[in-house]
Amino acid sequence: MFVLKNAWMSLERHPWRSITTVLIALVVAFATLFGWSVQAAETTAAGPGEQALKPAAAIRPTAATLAKRNGADASWTKHYLSWDDYTKYATAAQSTNLQFSYTFLESAPVRQSSSLTAIAGSADQPASKTGGELTMTGLYTADALQDNEAGQIRIVSGKAIDYTGQAEANRHEALISQALATKNHLKVGDKVTVGRPGDATKTFTLTVRGIYAYTTPDASAPAKLAKDNRDNTIYTGYYAFNSNGLDANNAKGWAIPDLNIVFKLSSMGDYRQFTKAVKAAGLRATHEVSSSTVTRYRASIAPLADLAHCMRLGLLIAWIVGGLLLLALVILNLRNRGGEIGTGLVIGVSRGRLGWQFMLEVLMPTVAGAAIGILAGAFASGPLGSALASGHATAPDAGIIWHTIGWSALAAVVLAVIALVRVFLFQTTTLFTTREEAAR
């Protein structure tokens, strides 16, 4: 009790020094727990999390190829892949014993009418050059929307379309964008007329079954042509697309449908195997295998990766600055205490008891601050990381908490040992100069 009482009294004599020690230890411990939690979450997300994906793979033009696209030049359709192309790639993948399922979507420009006017582009061309002001996309299944180049959608009014197309009425159902519906004052149940890309005199009628809005950002630049504005896209089932003559085998120019088959794979390993097989089968240099599943996932964990990068630097700064400040406070606490040590030795106090007192003066505020920091970090790391990393969980597990406790305890012990060494290095030959030292 004598040692503990003396240590406490020493801390009370220097309250600001003691409080500063507590705060520094708290900040360093909290930063350590939070930083390690974020890094562990990022490692899991980039490793096991990504490997657990079931990617949807598509074969599409590269960014360099798309950069040369001219929506008013019908020769661009030479870059479209045919059923024969996809059959070759699928056969090559199957030859490696790869199992997969598929869905597909087809797109073609269609012409506006008095009942459905497109949202204008910034530099529109006549429909005779572009094929039309609107784009009609036929979906084989609902899953096709998961890998839609324009983005993912949600129904804001009405219902989703029937992809089976078994009923005659279902073959004329369509979804239009909220922006397009607003421009044309349309509602669910209204009928609209559009024209085929190759012949403006051939029209067909669609019924608005639902109105949609995109849930993903528009990654493309502002559309020069109306048909390239994703809000001008009309979504139908494949049977509606086909029954209205847009999947014609003998089509020319913009009337040629743009076929996109999406291969649904079971793992990232299968995705890599599929990519390798398709390339080996002679994939065009203008095309590449990509996956919106992987792209979206990596985009979703990008904030977590950025936060983990910041925390690596932040932890380094916290450890260096915090360690140096705590060391400076320990040295400041030991300064000019030779007289106190000498007096204690003269009256019979052992070096061990004096050393233990000095150690407690370091341990009490340091351990208290670290304990508060670890406790706060255990509760706050999850919500704080979620706020800074777009909702990703960064709560610490037991291993991280115990590691933080261990390293905090080690740091406190090292600082305490420095105080202990000060006592044991005290030279008894200086006892006769303690009065002079005290005066200074």
What per-residue confidence (pLDDT) applies to 354? 76
Q: Which of 151, 293, 172 is nearest to 233 (CA)?
A: 151
What per-residue confidence (pLDDT) applies to 422? 79
> Which residues of the chain carry a pLDDT beneath 70?
1-2, 7, 165-169, 338-339, 348, 426-440
| Apex 433 CA angle, 427 and 434, nearest 5 | 80
Contact 251, 198 (CB under 8 A): yes
Amino acid, single-letter form, for residue 87: T
Q: Which of 245, 198, 260, 252 is nearest to 75 (CA)?
A: 252
What per-residue confidence (pLDDT) applies to 434? 47
What would the DSSP string read from start to end of 352-410? HHHHHHHHHHHHHHHHHHHHHHHHHHHHHHHHHHHHHTTT------HHHHHHHHHHHHH
What per-residue confidence (pLDDT) applies to 438? 47
What per-residue confidence (pLDDT) applies to 198? 79
Q: What is the pLDDT of residues 78-125, one digit of tens each?
A: 999 999 999 999 999 999 999 999 999 999 999 999 999 999 999 999
CA 311, CA 301: separation in Å to the nearest integer? 15
The DSSP letter of residue 187 is -
For residue 56, list its beta bridge partners: 264
Main-chain phi, psi angles of 110, to 5 degrees:
-130, 160
pTM metric for this prediction: 0.80
CA 154, CA 215: separation in Å to the nearest integer? 7
